[in-house]
Structure 1
Amino acid sequence: MQYNAPPPPAETSLPRKNATDRFIESIEWIAAAAVGIVAANIFISVLLRYFFSVSIPDSYDFGRMLLGILIFWGIAATSYRGTHITVDLIWDFAGPRRKRQIDIFATLVLLFVVSMQTIMLFDKVVTTKAQNILTYDLQIPTWPFFAIAWLGDVSAVILIAVRTVRLIVNPIPIDEPRNLEATE
């Protein structure tokens, strides 16, 4: 008996990603990695403490600084996709033209707020470095953690600006979910 293998599947041509889409995807991966690192830090710390009465040096300091990194990179990822928590009572009752105006206005307000937050966080990075603030056990400088969180905030500003431009130049259909994947 002879076995005939099925023909190889035809290659599907996926749309090529431009530099902006690759940048957005990398930010989402960084945010996901931060979630994994924070979860692993907590899980391993609890296991070591519970079963072996041992603690990881500076696990509390690392945990809180990693949580800050997670928050700011998470803001970057959710701000672009529009998947953050929203209150859409007025938006739901508006017509298509008003919905577009509300989306653009809300995104511009978000851009302003996150831009101001980014400026203030940069000040925190500079101040922390100047004060030479160190972790408790290992005496590691804390400013690099603040700088990584600040980079997440900078990424959020860039992505919100991209979202704003795309909302104005290439509006998504109103019937679609309000994320920008529909435009790609």
Structure 2
Amino acid sequence: MPTQPDKETQDSARDPAEYAQVLDTVPESEPAPKQDTVGEFLFQIFCAVIFLGMIGLVFYNAMLRYLFSSSYPPSEEWARFLFIYITFFGSIEAFYRKKHIAVDMFVDMLHGVSRKTVEIIASLVGMAVVGVLLWGGVVYVMSTYDQESVSTGVNMTFIYGTLPIMAAAALIIQLRDFIALLRRPVSEFEKA
């Protein structure tokens, strides 16, 4: 029965050119992620503080209910306000980093002029929707400028104002991406 040479013998018998070819086919490591700017970093800190504040208030109120069978009503309202803030400011982050939900199964099957056309139409529709959201947000804020919250007495403009802020930021980001989309040559639109 013939014996098979052990692994070390096989490796030493290989041609050095074969090793070089293997080394050339090894994919390079992915490039290091781009470092955030100071503004991006501060925005992330801002969002983290809002999120941790919301969690802290909910935990504080839960402990009060569990240990003392009572609660502090303003903490529930502040937690709700912070939830609104983290939702809309988190949406700005998602738009900026292109991490929002998108269904691109159909677009990925296209290439060339057809793909660029579909992406242009999708961008225009997206900007129109965000424009309507901005307009509706401004109208809503204007209708609530004289309302105050029940427990904390906070003017609701400061709470509901996050909607038009988010919509305006998303519109600016989409407009920037739309201009970049128009400038991209058709040859760069390939099937995914």
Q: 2 CA distance for matches of 1:176 and 1:47?
A: 54
Partner of 2:114: 98
Structure of larger gyration radius? 2
Question: 1:91 and 1:115, CA in 2 relative to 1: closer, same or farther beyond 3 A?
Answer: same
Letter aligned with residue 181 of structure 2:
L
Q: In the TM superposition, what are the counterparts of 1:1-184 in structure 2 within 5 Å? A: 29-129=45-145, 132-170=146-184
Partner of 1:12: none
| Pairwise CA distance, 1:33 | 4.1
Contact 1:57/1:137 (8 A) holds in 2: yes
| Pairwise CA distance, 1:28 | 5.1
Contact 1:70/1:149 (8 A) holds in 2: no
Q: 2 CA distance for matches of 1:48 and 1:78?
A: 35
| Pairwise CA distance, 1:121 | 0.8
Contact 2:111/2:190 (8 A) holds in 1: no
Structure with bigger RCO (C-alpha 8 Å, 6+ apart): 1
Letter aligned with residue 85 of structure 1:
I
Contact 2:111/2:191 (8 A) holds in 1: no
TM-score, normalisation: structure 2: 0.65
Q: Deviations over 1:95-139 (max 9, x none)?
A: 24433333332222111111111111111111111xx32222232
| Pairwise CA distance, 1:25 | 6.0
Contact 1:65/1:145 (8 A) holds in 2: yes
Contact 2:120/2:178 (8 A) holds in 1: yes
TM-score, normalisation: structure 1: 0.67
- DSSP-derived class of the 2:73 partner: coil
Letter aligned with residue 127 of structure 1:
S
Unaligned segments of structure 1, at least 5 residues: 1-14, 178-184
- DSSP-derived class of the 1:137 partner: coil
| Pairwise CA distance, 1:175 | 6.8
Identify the range of structure 1 (28-37 vs 144-153) with the bigger mean alpha-carbon deviation.
Answer: 28-37
Q: 2 CA distance for matches of 1:161 and 1:85?
A: 18
Unaligned segments of structure 2, at least 5 residues: 1-33
Question: 1:107 and 1:137, CA in 2 relative to 1: closer, same or farther beyond 3 A?
Answer: same
